[in-house]
Chains A and B, each alone.
Chain A
Amino acid sequence: MMSNQDDHSSPVVIELSGVEKSFGSQSVLRGVNLQVREGRTLVIVGASGQGKSVIIKHMLGLVRPDRGSVKVFGRNINRLNRKEKDEVRQNFGVLFQNAALFDSLNVYDNVALPLRERTRRSEDEVREGVMAKLGLMGLQEAIDKYPAQLSGGMRKRVGLARALMLQPKIVFFDEPTTGLDAHKSNELYRLFYRTQQQLGYTAVIVSHDVPKIFKLADEVALLAEGRIQGCMSPEDFQLSEQPTIRAFVEETMGHLYSSDREESNFYAQV
């Protein structure tokens, strides 16, 4: 989206170095190195169960790495005390995989929660802020509904409204379009694009939605076998000669042919 910018001009806001993590005997991350640059959109792709969400949880400081470090704005998030961690997290907005809405609160209260708990605004100001965000997401009709009464797409939009409530600097999206049809995912992507233009946040997206998600990405990183196999622009990613990346691209987007002969050979084999 902003690929006209120089890749290395903007400062690094999140940096994972040598992050290793096992759950029980299962080793998930085996030395992840990854950088997120300010104002840009990083998309992490990879097969299911490779630990993409685990990477996001490390960035959020919800999971502690067994080895390696996670630095957010230059501070090692696992060495911070609770107050300092909260200071860092004030800059975060998160859209969880299943939206993680508070199911005993209605849509309005869900979106209002960050304002009520984190700021000292009056109820009128809260209302103003909430209605503006819900308007942006096209959710004015749903304010009295509870999460259980919403469709998957609406839930994600409420989640996005809540994540963006306090003008975050970094927004994390964990599988934002899983379970949505093509139309609904396009709608969510449009909202993402529009809000990012408006608020200029850095985005980290974990997604399965290849190749569509490439249109939003400034950089694409492939996670496989517990490591980042490469992090590059979507154009480079799709043409990469790196075997793991090439295998992933072919698996998700179909076979790539470097020549007509190769193509006819492929069909001859089928």
Chain B
Amino acid sequence: MYLLMEKIGSGTLGFLETSGRMGLFLMRALTSMFQMPFKVNPVVRQVHFIGARSAFVILFTGLFTGMVLGLQGYYTLRKFGSEGFLGSAVALSLIRELGPVLTALMVIGRAGSAICAEVGIMRNSEQIDALECMAVDPFRYLIAPKLLAGIIAMPLLTAIFDVIGILGGYLVGTGLFGINPGAYFQGMYSSVVWADVEMGLVKSLVFGLLMVWIAACKGFYLHMERSGGFGAEGVSRTTTDAVVLSSVSVLVWDYLISALLL
């Protein structure tokens, strides 16, 4: 009984400590984004890393997601004799839900893990201490460009995902099932409204922020991890944690944003 209470207590303390740390981390990262002088180069480099280098994966997953949606959508819609709505079905599910979520999950796997490992290794090898001792703010130098890049790149990648997915649905719908190309786009045109695009945009912005926040924070405070963040194993464990935590948070926030905006 005593042991159980001890466990609950230490778990709660750990949770509060981590939440507080993460909250403060985000505050500092966000404020350091607006510190002058603003440097464009590091941000561009990070956008290239998070964005451009994820583009191929996003094209690929986007295309197949759209094609699957076309396939599944067609069989479902045919039961009700409304194959003509395939375009709007594909577009709406992509723009509102699948685009932002799947893009975020893919980018977390590719870039989020890399960010966490990079920052974690820098922490482990005293590089972050070195920055602090040089009076160079690690938040401004290291974290802020990544955070900004995440917020810039995620919506762009999501847009690519949406467009290519819609194209995938089109290919399956018209090529495989002989749906009228005009009907596919006309249905989409009439049913997708700005609010849908807005919801997708808000989601992808939030997901971009979430991904870099969690990944960078986990790496940055590697040495404070309760499970012991030492050495290569510490980095690998923390990276795994960061990927899992950010993926789960994406899904949770996806629900919250949908519930709020619908």
| Chain A residues packing against B (C-beta within 8 Å) | 57, 60, 62, 82, 86-87, 89-90, 92, 94, 96-98, 100-104, 113-114, 117-118, 120, 162, 166, 172
CB distance from A269 to the nearest CB of B (A): 44
Question: Which of the candidate stretches B91-99, B124-132, B168-176 sits at the interface with the other chain?
Answer: B124-132
**Known pairs A86-B135, A98-B125 / 8 extra A-B pairs, C-beta < 8 Å:** A57-B129, A89-B135, A94-B130, A102-B130, A103-B127, A114-B136, A118-B136, A172-B133
- By the criterion CB–CB under 8 Å, are A117 and B132 in contact? no
- By the criterion CB–CB under 8 Å, are B133 and A92 in contact? yes
Q: Could you name 21 residue pairs across A and B whose Cβ atoms are closer than 8 Å?
A: A57-B129, A60-B129, A62-B129, A82-B137, A86-B137, A89-B132, A89-B135, A92-B133, A96-B126, A96-B129, A97-B126, A98-B126, A100-B125, A102-B122, A103-B121, A113-B134, A114-B134, A114-B136, A117-B141, A118-B136, A120-B37
Find the A residue at minimum CB distance from B128.
Answer: A100
Find the B residue at minimum CB distance from A90.
Answer: B135
**With A and B bound together, what is the CA distance between A92 and B136 in angstroms?**
12
- By the criterion CB–CB under 8 Å, are B126 and A100 in contact? yes
Per-residue A-contact encoding for B114-153, CB less than 8 Å = 1, 0 else = 0000100110011101101111110001000000000000
Find the A residue at minimum CB distance from B28.
Answer: A82
Which chain A residues lie closer than 8 Å to B126 at the CB level? Answer: 96-98, 100
Which chain A residues lie closer than 8 Å to B127 at the CB level? Answer: 100-103
Which chain B residues lie closer than 8 Å to A162 at the CB level? Answer: 134
Find the B residue at minimum CB distance from A60.
Answer: B133
Chain B at the A interface: SS class: helix
Per-residue A-contact encoding for B1-42, CB less than 8 Å = 1, 0 else = 000000000000000000000000000000000000100000
Which chain B residues lie closer than 8 Å to A89 at the CB level? Answer: 132-135
**With A and B bound together, what is the CA distance between A27 and B113 in angstroms?**
36
**With A and B bound together, what is the CA distance between A86 and B122 in angstroms?**
20
- By the criterion CB–CB under 8 Å, are B132 and A62 in contact? yes
- By the criterion CB–CB under 8 Å, are A117 and B129 in contact? no
Which chain B residues lie closer than 8 Å to A62 at the CB level? Answer: 129, 132-133
How many residues of B are in contact with the other chain, CB < 8 A?
Answer: 16
Find the B residue at minimum CB distance from A105.
Answer: B127
**With A and B bound together, what is the CA distance between A89 and B133 in angstroms?**
6
- By the criterion CB–CB under 8 Å, are A100 and B130 in contact? yes
**With A and B bound together, what is the CA distance between A166 and B136 in angstroms?**
12
CB distance from A17 to the nearest CB of B (A): 22
Shortest 7 CB-CB distances between A and B: which pairs?
Answer: A100-B126, A89-B135, A100-B130, A86-B135, A117-B136, A94-B133, A90-B135
- By the criterion CB–CB under 8 Å, are B135 and A96 in contact? no
Which chain A residues lie closer than 8 Å to B125 at the CB level? Answer: 98, 100, 103
Which chain A residues lie closer than 8 Å to B135 at the CB level? Answer: 86-87, 89-90, 92, 118
**With A and B bound together, what is the CA distance between A89 and B134 in angstroms?**
6
Which chain B residues lie closer than 8 Å to A102 at the CB level? Answer: 122, 127, 130
Which chain A residues lie closer than 8 Å to B136 at the CB level? Answer: 113-114, 117-118
- By the criterion CB–CB under 8 Å, are B130 and A96 in contact? yes
Which chain A residues lie closer than 8 Å to B37 at the CB level? Answer: 120
Q: Give chain B interface residues in 41-67, CB to chain A under 8 Å.
A: none
Find the B residue at minimum CB distance from A174.
Answer: B126
Q: Which of B129, B135, B141 has the most CB of A within 10 A?
A: B135
CB distance from A79 to the nearest CB of B (A): 17
CB distance from B4 to the nearest CB of A (A): 23
**A117 with B133: in contact, given A100-B125, A103-B125 (CB under 8 Å)?**
no
CB distance from B56 to the nearest CB of A (A): 23
**With A and B bound together, what is the CA distance between A89 and B136 in angstroms?**
9
CB distance from A23 to the nearest CB of B (A): 11
Which chain A residues lie closer than 8 Å to B130 at the CB level? Answer: 94, 96, 100, 102
Which chain B residues lie closer than 8 Å to A172 at the CB level? Answer: 133
Which chain B residues lie closer than 8 Å to A98 at the CB level? Answer: 125-126
Which chain A residues lie closer than 8 Å to B129 at the CB level? Answer: 57, 60, 62, 96, 100
**With A and B bound together, what is the CA distance between A57 and B137 in angstroms?**
17
CB distance from B145 to the nearest CB of A (A): 12
**With A and B bound together, what is the CA distance between A66 and B157 in angstroms?**
48
**With A and B bound together, what is the CA distance between A132 and B91 in angstroms?**
60
Per-residue A-contact encoding for B232-244, CB less than 8 Å = 1, 0 else = 0000000000000
Which chain A residues lie closer than 8 Å to B121 at the CB level? Answer: 103
Q: Which of A100, A101, A166 has the most CB of B within 10 A?
A: A100
Find the B residue at minimum CB distance from A63.
Answer: B129
Which chain B residues lie closer than 8 Å to A86 at the CB level? Answer: 135, 137
**With A and B bound together, what is the CA distance between A60 and B122 in angstroms?**
18
Find the B residue at minimum CB distance from A86.
Answer: B135
